[in-house]
Amino acid sequence: MHPHAELVDRLYASFARRDAAAMAACYVPDAVFRDPIFEVRGADVTAMWAMFCDRGGDLELSWRGVRADDAAGAAHWEPRYTFSVTGRRVHNVIESRFTFRDGRIATHTDRFDLWRWSRMAIGPKGALLGWTPFVRKAIRAEARRSFDGWKARRAAPVPTGA
């Protein structure tokens, strides 16, 4: 197995264990991540995964088809989890593409059907309107607000007893 394929396999194994630190070690410091909901760079890539690890109490993850060479790689993965906003169960089907630099992931692009995801995560509103640009934009905006709020709470000083 190519070392970059081993790296991608390690990324998903770390996520399955909800080990955000091990996931962070898989990325270069200025990495870029994109999917239909998020586009993040640098420290926000590892913070995003840390948020998912933190919130993924019932996460089940499978992956297969990991392949890579010196420049690029790909994988298929399927997370199953409860979407925290609605309490609805989600089974996403994702195709990932990677580029590498210095033995770590430089770019990571996930593709999945956002309408399918919205039907599972949001329910009837997602089924009826999840295909519309307006709802897609609202999903992205809410995800960003949630992520920024999670980062702010994480950075806030922990109160101590007086």
Domain limits, the chain: 3-113
Q: What is the pLDDT of residues 49-63, one digit of tens each?
A: 999 998 878 999 999
Residue spans of beta strands (DSSP E) within 93-159 = 94-101, 104-111
Contact yes or no for 147/48 (Cβ under 8 A): yes
Burial of 1 (0-12, 13-18, 19+ CB in 10 A): exposed
Mean pLDDT for 143-161 is 74
Does pTM surpass 0.95?
no
Q: What architecture (CATH level 2) is domain 3-113? A: Roll (3.10)
Q: What is the pLDDT of residues 19-36, one digit of tens each?
A: 999 999 999 999 999 999
